[in-house]
Amino acid sequence: MTQITCPFCHSDNLVTLSPQQAGLGQLEVLLEAMSPAAMAALGVKLSRQLDIPPIVGGLIGVVVGGGLMLVNQQILSKYQSLNHRYLCNGCQNSFVSVAA
Ligand SMILES: [Zn+2]
């Protein structure tokens, strides 16, 4: 584990501030709505309207949903690391960790 130090006074006496859970919760709900299962159901529904076999629509949905899930995980991890804030006990400055 990388030791994180204060960018202002280089002290390692740091307190982790809690991430902004409210915003993250909304994001997680949104990502849940785009899961492969949800996309497959949407694909089957759309395939009926577009007059193509439901299995084809379902497969497309799974592939699209799987791709979205990979993108979503990257967004989520980026969002979480962006919200990782520290408070320095040495100089009372707060900062966002640059250590991934
Ligand atoms: Zn400091």
What is the average pLDDT across 24-30? Answer: 72
Instruction: Evaluate whether residue 48 is within a structural domain.
Output: yes
CA 83 to centroid of ligand 1, rounded, Å: 18
Residues of the domain holding 52: 21-96
Task: State the DSSP string of 30-67.
Answer: HHHHTSHHHHHHHHHHHHHHTTS-HHHHHHHHHHHHHH
pTM of this prediction exceeds 0.75: no
Q: How far apart are CA 50 and CA 58, in angstroms?
A: 13
Instruction: Evaluate whether residue 12 is within a structural domain.
Output: no
Of 15, 59, 12, the residue nearest 40 (C-alpha):
59
Instruction: Evaluate whether residue 3 is within a structural domain.
Output: no
Supply the pLDDT for residue 2: 67
CA 1 to centroid of ligand 1, rounded, Å: 20
Give residue for tokens 């709900």: 29
Instruction: Evaluate whether residue 49 is within a structural domain.
Output: yes
Instruction: Evaluate whether residue 2 is within a structural domain.
Output: no
33-85 per-position pLDDT tens digit: 888 888 899 999 999 999 999 999 999 999 999 998 888 888 877 766 666 77
Burial (CB count <10 Å: 0-12, 13-18, 19+), residue 15: exposed
Instruction: Evaluate whether residue 88 is within a structural domain.
Output: yes
CA 43 to centroid of ligand 1, rounded, Å: 53
CA 23 to centroid of ligand 1, rounded, Å: 27
Instruction: Evaluate whether residue 78 is within a structural domain.
Output: yes
Number of domains the chain is built from: 1
Instruction: Evaluate whether residue 72 is within a structural domain.
Output: yes
Residue 15's beta-bridge partner residues? 87
